[in-house]
Every structure is written in C-alpha cells, then in structure tokens.
Chains A and B, each alone.
Chain A
Amino acid sequence: MRKIHFKIKRFDGNKEWYQDYQLAYEKGKTILWALTSIREQFDPTLVFTSACRHAICGSCGVKVNGSSYLACKTSLDEVLDTFKTDYLTFEPMGSFEVIKDLAVAWEPKMEKMEKVKPWLIPSVEGDVEGGFIQSEEDFHHIASPTDCILCGICASECNQLAVNDGTYLDPFILNRAYRFAVDSRDGSPEEHIRPVIENELWKCMHCMQCATSCPKGIPLTEQVAFLRQESIRMGEVNNQGAKHAFAFVNDVRTKGRLNETMLPIKTDGLFKTATTKVPFALRMIKKGKINPFHMPKAVEGIKGVQEIYKYAEEVENR
C-alpha cells in the first residue's frame, strides 16, 4: 500500500521539533484532509487552524516543502506531483509569529494593518442617511482587492518581509490600502497611501511571489506599481526608489538604453555615491565592468521612441 510520509514542524511554546506521521494514500484529497486525518487518527495534540474548508475564512495557510499553500484549496495529488515525492514537510507560514505547531499569530499583523486605515473614509458626496452610491464600473475597481481572505500566504512568500525588520507592510496590507484608495466612495485616498509611503513602499523587490501565490489571484504587484505611481503624483519623488525609476524612464527617453555608470548618482545623488559606493565602483572598473568614460550613444530609431513618450504624455496621461 502506498504511504505518504509527513514531517511536521512542532512547537509547544518553548521547544521546536519535527515529528513524523504516515497516512495511507487516498486519491482526490486535500492537504487539509491530511492534517485533519493525522490529528484524528494519530495525534490530537497537533495544532493547526481551519474552519470553512472552502477557501473563504483564510485560516488554513501552511508551508509544504517550503512553499505556501491554502490547505483546504490545495489537492494533495497536486503537491505530490509538484515535488515528485511521497515525503512532505509541513511548516508554519513564514513572516508570522508561531503560537503552536502550525498556528500563527494574527494580532500583530492586524495592528500593523491599522496603519493604512483599512476602512472607508467617506467622501463628502455620501452620507449615512442618503447612502453611498457606486456605479458598476467603479465597483469593478474594488472587486478584485475585496476578494482577499486574509490568509497571509502572500506575506509568507514575500521576499522583502523575510529579511525586513518588520516595518515593511505585508502584501495583504498594501492590498487594503489600495482597495480603499481606489474606492470611489472614499474621500481621502491619501490617508491610505501616505502610511504606505512612510513604511518602505519602495522596498518591494518585485519578485512576483505575492501575486503568484495568492489563492484568489489578486494582482498584488500591479497594486504596488499603482501605489508607487500615486506616491509620485502626490509629489513624493525625492527618494531612492522614485529617483531610480525615473533614471530608467529618462535614460530610455534620451538614449533608449540605461547608462549604468550614472545610475548610482541618479538614484543616490553624488554625495552618497561618493561616500558609500566607491569600493563597489572601483572593483567594477578594475574588472572592466564599468567604463566610467563610456557614454552610450542613442539607439537607432530614438526619434520613434521619443514619439512614444510624447503619445504617452499627451494622449494617455492627459
């Protein structure tokens, strides 16, 4: 009989260990079925959270072989096929404080989420008695971000959170800020966006993990792009992130290609570059990786490229 081998990370509040369990293989089951079966058949002390079993409550996020999944939505067969093995390691989600075994703490995350004012700040057009009318088109702007079930899988996979001191906002928090900032009934989008800017918005590494792992398919990285565009519209351009992005925009406009030699100066300014980036620059020059005298020529067809910019500015962003 085919057996599936589970190694589950345990934590009792003091010590951590891995514990092995085995289940007879059954076709067409979920990974939540595996956890539930282990608890019911072998070990009532195993702690994990779940409730709805229908990808609605968001309580069953877990890491399997290093990759985060919503346990009730994920087929065991799919996971076995992905890793080409009958040996699975279960661990709690990353970037969360662990309470016990696979159960993680949400309170600190909720406290952090309050920073972006995750509630509707009514516009003057609406009021409590008359209601807040929203057109169907405007509703569609918030339909996707409202799908978030707060499962935390985006945070578990976020590469910035994995190395951050905790200031950076979890992708689901950025999603909340976005969701209210684009809501036509909200009168103060800046009140949601300002805290995002103040909490390291430009540290997103653009790794695409959040958008990739979201069980609801919310385009979280597009939202980061939107929040950054909004920050620029709000005049927040004097920071490394925005300056770095503008260096690309401007180099493509003038030459078509990036001037790598000038990039640090455009991003950090001459002073910071001179004081912090000299060892880096010297080792690059020594290996012939940077030629400080190389000034790229404009690419063939640069006039056409500039016409694209003109169209984008005059027609699209009018």
Chain B
Amino acid sequence: MRYAFFPGCTLESAEEELMISTLKVAEALGIELIELKGWTCCGASHIQDVDDFLATSINARNIALGEELGVSKIITVCNTCTLMLRTAKDKLDRNDNLKTRVNESLRGTGMQYKGNTEVTHLLWMLIEEYGLENLRKKVVRPLTGLKVANFYGCHILMPPKIMGFENHRNPQSMEMVAEVLGAESVEFDQRLACCGFHSVFPAEKEVMGLTGMNTLSSKTSGADCLVTPCPLCQMQLDAYQPDAQKGFKEDITMPILHLPQLIGLALGLSPEELAIQRHVVDAIPMLRRSLQLV
C-alpha cells in the first residue's frame, strides 16, 4: 500500500510526536507513506478569511504534488488539513471556471491541478482500505482494560457534503478502531464537541472554558485517556490544559493521545517509541498502570 503523505505544519514542530508515531505505525502496518516534496501549510481555516482564491490555489498546488506521484490517494493525519484540502478539491471539481483560473495561477509551479487524486484521513483509510480485520491481526498487545474517550474534532465530520465518511451526528469510526485494538470506549457528553483551537487567540476565555469542559467530561465518564485523530485538538486539549485548569475547581487532568499513538501501543510499540513523553500532561504513568507496561 502506497500513499502520498501530507503531514501539515504542526507535525514539523509542536506536534512532532504525531509525525514520529504515524511513521512508526505505518511501517509496522506495511503502509508506505511518501511525503509530498515542498508541501505548504493548508491555510488552517484562516487564509480564506483574507482571500479564498488564494486558499484554494495553495491547496490545488498541494494536491497537484500528490497527483505527480501517481498514487490514488493523499493521506493526512490532521482533521483541518483534511478539510482544507478536500474543500479546495470540491470547489475545483465542481467549478470548471475556477479550475481554469486556479491552474493559471499554478503556472509558475510547473504543475496543474487535474483532479485525479483523492484526499483522505488515516482513520478513514484504515477502515476503508487497510481493513479493520487486517489491523486486528497486527495487534500484539491488546489494550485490554484501557478506557478511552474518543474525541472526534469537528473537521473530520463536517460539513458532511465535503467530509461525509460517516454520519456526523453519530460517528462510530473511532469506536470501531478502539474495539479492534482491545480498548474500551466510554460514552461522554463532549465526544463530538469542538476543541476551539481555531479561535484560541481571539476567544481565549471561551476556549479555555471549553477545553476544561472537554477534559472534565471525559474524566467524569471514567476514561483513562482521551484520543483524537487531530493534532490541533490534541494541542488544544493537552498543551493548554494547565491554563484551562485555572478556571476549574475540579481536577480536569486528562492525558491526551493521538490516534496513531493508541494504535502503536496495540502494535507493541513502547510509549517512548511513540514519543508520548512529549505531551504536556504526562500520559506514561497512566499507560504503565492500565497496560501493565514496565
């Protein structure tokens, strides 16, 4: 299995542990990820607020980089990157006039957007192409006894006309993966909540409140850790957790894992190999306890 890989900016810096764990997991599963050469930021849901033509064009270029590789799909591990790339693709594939103008803007890149390569998220690919039964066969350390709170993040679900992998009102993909890995999914109120990351600067007070509600809700439901398929949700819920705590009397502490880290643990990789020690809220003592790791 061979895919083009669009990492996105956070994987190069603050969320480098997601780069490390994604590559480790892909290797263990026999999935070849070819990083796009010269990819740029997807716009992170901000560039369209200044100029939507620009937002579409830079992502037409990103997708064209994948098309050049001759693979059928570009894989991402970030909800927002997935949404930004798929939004651009949707606009270009539905509007020939826009596609012509965008391709005009791509002249200097020596590439053209053709529209023959899909954009998908690792979570979707595992279910749709790799197959959960094949994943089950690779599990060497079932996560028995580990209670996980699956936090989807908005951009892997909405808007459904662009994302549309599953019903946004009651998605099940994360629970399906958790089940295969041997973990137990807990129900919690904030499962489909927003992490608020995209407005953390202009709406700091509100977003910190939301962060605390999100982690507290998972804690109250008895989760050992919260798992998310999005590095931006992870960053918001983990790195800002000490700031969010200040607004709460109750202890809101909750370790936050990236989806590939959860998968990697079940594949027998150690927390250190998956760079879990990089998290602000230390997840390792909880993992040692729950999974009896030494």
Contacts and interface: CB of A to CB of B under 8 A. Distances in A.
B244 to A, nearest CB: 11
A44 interface: no
Interface stretch (B100-108, B257-265, B286-294): B100-108
Interface string B194-209: 1010110111001101
Nearest to B197: A205
A279 B203 contact: no
B32 interface: no
Given A248-B44, A268-B201, A284-B14, A301 B38 contact: yes
B88 to A, nearest CB: 12
Contacts of A83: 169-170
Given A252-B58, A308-B54, A316-B53, A288 B202 contact: no
23 contacts: A67-B170, A163-B213, A205-B194, A208-B83, A212-B158, A229-B49, A229-B50, A229-B52, A232-B49, A248-B44, A249-B46, A249-B50, A256-B39, A260-B10, A261-B13, A268-B201, A283-B280, A287-B277, A287-B278, A288-B278, A289-B239, A308-B58, A312-B54
Contacts of B106: 304, 308
A159 to B, nearest CB: 4
Interface string A237-270: 0011110111011011000111011001001100
A205 B105 contact: no
Contacts of B198: 205-207
A110 interface: no
Interface string B39-67: 11101111111111110011001000000
Contacts of B158: 207-209, 211-212
Contact count band on B: 35 or more
Given A84-B170, A307-B109, 11 more contacts: A203-B199, A208-B155, A209-B154, A209-B194, A256-B39, A260-B9, A301-B38, A301-B109, A304-B61, A308-B54, A308-B61
A21 interface: no
Given A164-B206, A228-B49, A311 B105 contact: yes
Measured as residues with beta carbon below 8 angstroms from the partner, the interface class of chain A is 35 or more
Given A164-B206, A240-B202, A283 B239 contact: yes
Given A229-B50, A251-B41, A305-B58, A315 B278 contact: no
B263 to A, nearest CB: 22
A25 interface: no
B104 A315 contact: yes
A208 B37 contact: no
B193 interface: yes
A305 B43 contact: no
A309 interface: yes
A89 interface: no
B210 interface: yes
A318 B144 CA distance: 60
A127 interface: no
A317 to B, nearest CB: 7
A288 B239 CA distance: 12
B12 interface: yes
Contact of B13 (A203, A206, A280, A290): A290
Interface in B162-181: 167-170
Nearest to A264: B201
A8 B170 CA distance: 20
A299 B38 contact: yes
A312 B98 CA distance: 12
A312 B65 CA distance: 20
A225 B198 CA distance: 13
A223 to B, nearest CB: 12
Contacts of B54: 249, 308-309, 312, 316
Chain A to chain B: the 5 pairs with minimum beta-carbon distance, closest first: A307-B108, A304-B109, A300-B38, A311-B105, A159-B194
Contact of A248 (B14, B41, B108, B111): B41
A19 interface: no
A291 interface: yes
A155 interface: no
A241 B243 CA distance: 20
Given A251-B41, A252-B43, A307 B13 contact: no
Interface string B15-30: 1100000000000000
B113 to A, nearest CB: 11
Contacts of A246: 50
A14 interface: no
Given A249-B54, A256-B38, A307-B108, A206 B170 contact: no
Contacts of B196: 159, 163, 205
B115 interface: no
A87 B217 CA distance: 22
Contacts of B43: 248, 252
Contacts of A267: 201
B182 interface: no
Interface in A20-75: 65-67
Given A82-B169, A212-B159, A232-B50, A202 B202 contact: yes
Nearest to A219: B159
Contacts of A294: 13
A208 B209 contact: no
A299 B47 contact: no
Contacts of B170: 65, 67, 82-84
B222 interface: no
A312 B57 contact: yes
